[in-house]
């Protein structure tokens, strides 16, 4: 953790769990599966601060090509 209180060393799994904890039960239920699908794809132990825009774009591209539910939204 840095001195200014920001924890830049979180793993993606830790960040996802923290994010989901802050949501209402209804919203959490609606998106939890997709959040953890991304976590598994990217790597649960990889550091959040190492995540890059091209990696997110790659995931989104793969998702849009393979998931018909994603294409409907």
Q: Is residue 66 part of a domain?
A: yes
Q: Report pLDDT digits (tens) over 29-49.
A: 999 999 999 999 999 999 999
Per-residue pLDDT of the chain (73 residues; tens, 9 = 90+): 444 445 568 999 999 999 999 999 999 999 999 999 999 999 999 999 999 999 999 999 988 877 665 555 5
CA-wise closest residue to 42 among 56, 21, 62: 56
Q: Is residue 2 part of a domain?
A: no
Q: Is residue 46 part of a domain?
A: yes
Q: Is residue 59 part of a domain?
A: yes
Q: Is residue 5 part of a domain?
A: no
* Residue 19 domain boundaries: 12-72
> Per the structure, how many domains does the chain have?
1
Whether the Cβ atoms of residue 70 and residue 38 lie closer than 8 Å to each other: no
Q: Report pTM.
A: 0.72
Whether the Cβ atoms of residue 70 and residue 63 lie closer than 8 Å to each other: yes
Q: Is residue 22 part of a domain?
A: yes
Q: Is residue 1 part of a domain?
A: no
């Amino acid at each position: 953790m840095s001195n200014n209180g920001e924890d830049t060393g979180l793993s993606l799994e830790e960040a996802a769990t923290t994010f989901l904890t802050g949501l209402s039960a209804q919203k959490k239920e609606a998106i939890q599966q997709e959040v953890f699908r991304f976590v598994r794809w990217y790597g649960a132990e990889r550091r959040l601060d190492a995540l890059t825009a091209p990696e997110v774009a790659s995931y989104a591209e793969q998702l849009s090509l393979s998931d018909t539910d994603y294409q409907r939204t």
